Amino acid sequence: SQQGEEDPQALSIQEGENATMNCSYKTSINNLQWYRQNSGRGLVHLILIRSNEREKHSGRLRVTLDTSKKSSSLLITASRAADTASYFCATIHSGAGSYQLTFGKGTKLSVIP
């Protein structure tokens, strides 16, 4: 069953602008991960945030987590054309085995040069 839902489904911005993507989920989680997928390729892990963390940074990426609202956001600052890809959030339910990582449907980001 789908756990995370990304919003918006698609986002188009100019190079240099910031891009914000959101993820909402339904049940309690242990952690939330963000992945990136270039067109027609596999997914690449970007960042993981644990349920007891509120914010995490990695280079130009900033992830926030609000467990009271069951939501997370991914911010990409100073976007580049190479950031064009689909971005997925993924969660493991609290109490579930550590195997079942469920993905949202993704946000398709287009960065226009």
Partner 1 sequence: DVKVTQSSRYLVKRTGEKVFLECVQDMDHENMFWYRQDPGLGLRLIYFSYDVKMKEKGDIPEGYSVSREKKERFSLILESASTNQTSMYLCASKRSGEEKLFFGSGTQLSVL
Contacts with partner 1 by CB under 8 A lie at 1-2, 30-31, 33, 35, 40-45, 48, 88, 90, 92, 98-106
Comparison of 8 and 16: residue with beta carbon closer to partner 1: 8
Comparison of 70 and 108: residue with beta carbon closer to partner 1: 108
Comparison of 31 and 64: residue with beta carbon closer to partner 1: 31
Shortest separation between residue 19's beta carbon and partner 1, angstroms: 19
Shortest separation between residue 15's beta carbon and partner 1, angstroms: 26
Is the bond preceding 113 in cis, omega lying within 30 degrees of 0? no
Shortest separation between residue 102's beta carbon and partner 1, angstroms: 7
| Distance (Å, whole) CA 95 – CA 48 | 18
Contact 1, 91 (CB under 8 A): no
Comparison of 76 and 90: residue with beta carbon closer to partner 1: 90
Phi, psi (5° rounding) for residue 81?
-55, -35
| Distance (Å, whole) CA 47 – CA 44 | 10
Shortest separation between residue 50's beta carbon and partner 1, angstroms: 9
Distances (CA, A) of 3 to 37, 50, 83, 111: 19, 16, 25, 27
